[in-house]
Amino acid sequence: MRGIPEVFDEVERGRADVGVVPIENSSEGVVNHTLDGLIDSELLICGEASLEIHHNLLSRAGELADVKRVFSHPQALAQCRGWLNRNLPDAEVVEMTSTSAAAEQAALDPSTAAIASELAGQLYRVPALRERIEDYANNVTRFLAIGRRAAGRTGRDKTSILFSIRDEVGTLHRILEPFASARLSLTKIESRPTRRRPWEYVFFVDFEGHRDDPVTQGVLAAVRERCLFLKVLGSYPVMA
């Protein structure tokens, strides 16, 4: 699909069984479009995967000096910011909804380039002018699989939730206290504005355990009593 919202929409409408969306990158952090989708959607997280991401500069231009504009998704542009500043300082940078849309654009005009994958270059028949231009060699993105069916217990699972809290001193500490008491390890915590009222936030938390585990059920019940709103986004196997 051309963007993350479209992936959510395809699965919600039943035109796809499962969608795959990026949630965070090792160098650029969280992907906010995915967080926003999880807030609004009733889909469940049913899996995860982490992949090394390599970016190529795709273009029909003969030389770097011939490239006048560079297209890509904001995350890919950010992951190659240093390379662009060193090698194409005068090129116009244009944000696109996806790296594949950028590759499609680069196929139309030899004075343009796209930051995208090797596969995108093959699909749109745009050669790689430069390979592996990401600023950090260990560039890893974590992806989530989203669908309508919950994943069963495997004995080595992770649960993702989101919640909102009152703007009071110590509230977040009280919300997280049940996890510590039950010795459930938190693997991620992230905040995001709700966009409903100024300075109102929701928190995203990943922790070890499955929502059907008795211990986890007790913790979620305690958290629900202490927050304004709690949504379980899904339980799924921990990636190997």
Task: Name the nearest CA neighbour of 27 among 132, 133, 140, 116.
Answer: 140
Q: Which run of H or of E encompasses 28?
A: none
Q: Which run of H or of E encompasses 94?
A: strand 92-95
Q: Is 141 a catalytic residue?
A: yes
Task: Name the nearest CA neighbour of 234 among 201, 194, 207, 202.
Answer: 207
Number of other CB atoms surrounding residue 188 within 10 Å: 14
Looking at 34, 141, 159, 216, which residue is catalytic?
141
Q: Is 143 a catalytic residue?
A: yes
Greatest C-alpha distance within the chain: 63
Looking at 8, 143, 179, 207, which residue is catalytic?
143
Give me the active site residues, please. 141, 143
